[in-house]
């Protein structure tokens, strides 16, 4: 079995067994706040590791051209069906983000706890991919999972490690400290908007 096939199986099993403690069942309040604050440009937006895609729906409703990617077939099919029922359109793709390439770059990426789902050994490659998928000046709207423990998924995305991963040479960090968002699994996410230089 290839590494991608192993990842597909591991995540698909979680969905089939209903082990999706990360799923809010509704759009994250932080996305609503960022939309209200005008931080999401009305252009092409990528949602990596979209899961059931409550945020995908909100971004489409806000007028964005959304591409949503997840490795597990079950949430992808559910999201496609929900969007079709609502008469909404997004490009929903079942793919391994560590192997996938988009046709063109995005104005924004909404990264809600996909990073923490990946093995930290894959973080540098994933971060490099995220940088390559954004136009210069594009926004990475990031939610970094805080577990404070070893192991995962979800893996702890400590802020100093994030600052190393999303290096100042490639990314402009906001002057303010990221703000905390409670997560449905009882943990916390750190929210911040980085700009691709
Ligand atoms: C913690 S969940 C977050 C889901 C969604 N963003 C949310 O907040 O509800 C992580 C998601 O990333 C997906 N995922 C994990 N590894 C992936 C990979 N290599 N490529 C694409 N998706 C992946 C999983 O299937 C899962 O849906």
The pLDDT, as a whole number, for residue 42 is 83
At residue 194, the 3 state secondary structure works out as strand
Q: How many Å lie between the centroid of ligand 1 and the Cα of residue 114?
A: 5
The terminus-to-terminus CA distance of the chain in angstroms comes to 38
Q: pTM above the 0.95 mark?
A: yes
Q: How many Å lie between the centroid of ligand 1 and the Cα of residue 118?
A: 8
Mean pLDDT split into 10-residue runs, the chain, 197 residues: 97 98 94 94 95 98 98 98 98 98 97 98 98 98 97 97 97 95 89 97
Measured from the Cβ of residue 69, the count of other Cβ atoms closer than 10 Å reads 20
User: CA dist 140 to 76, 133, 134, 150, Å?
Assistant: 22, 10, 8, 26
Q: How many Å lie between the centroid of ligand 1 and the Cα of residue 18?
A: 14
User: Does residue 145's CB lie within 6 angstroms of at least one atom of ligand 1?
Assistant: no
Burial group, residue 111, by CB count within 10 angstroms (0-12, 13-18, 19+) = buried
Distance from C-alpha of 51 to C-alpha of 69, rounded to nearest angstrom: 8
Closest by Cα among 197, 196, 194 to 34 = 194
The pLDDT, as a whole number, for residue 184 is 76
């Amino acid at each position: 079995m290839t590494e991608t096939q192993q990842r597909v199986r591991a995540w698909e099993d979680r969905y089939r067994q209903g082990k999706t403690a990360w799923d809010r069942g509704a759009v994250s309040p932080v996305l609503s706040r960022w939309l209200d604050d005008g931080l999401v440009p009305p252009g092409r937006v990528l949602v990596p590791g979209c899961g059931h895609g409550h945020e995908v729906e909100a971004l489409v409703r806000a007028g964005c051209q959304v591409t949503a990617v997840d490795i597990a077939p079950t949430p992808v099919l559910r999201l496609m069906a929900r969007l079709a029922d609502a008469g909404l359109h997004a490009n929903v793709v079942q793919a391994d983000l560590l192997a996938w390439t988009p046709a063109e770059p995005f104005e924004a990426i909404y990264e809600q706890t996909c990073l923490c789902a990946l093995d930290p050994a894959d973080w540098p490659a994933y971060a490099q991919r995220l940088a390559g998928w954004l136009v210069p000046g594009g926004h990475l709207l990031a939610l970094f999972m805080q577990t404070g423990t070893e192991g995962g998924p979800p893996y702890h995305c400590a802020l100093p490690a994030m600052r190393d991963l999303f290096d100042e040479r490639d990314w402009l960090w906001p002057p303010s400290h990221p703000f905390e968002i409670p997560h449905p699994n009882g943990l916390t996410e750190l929210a911040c908007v980085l700009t691709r230089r």
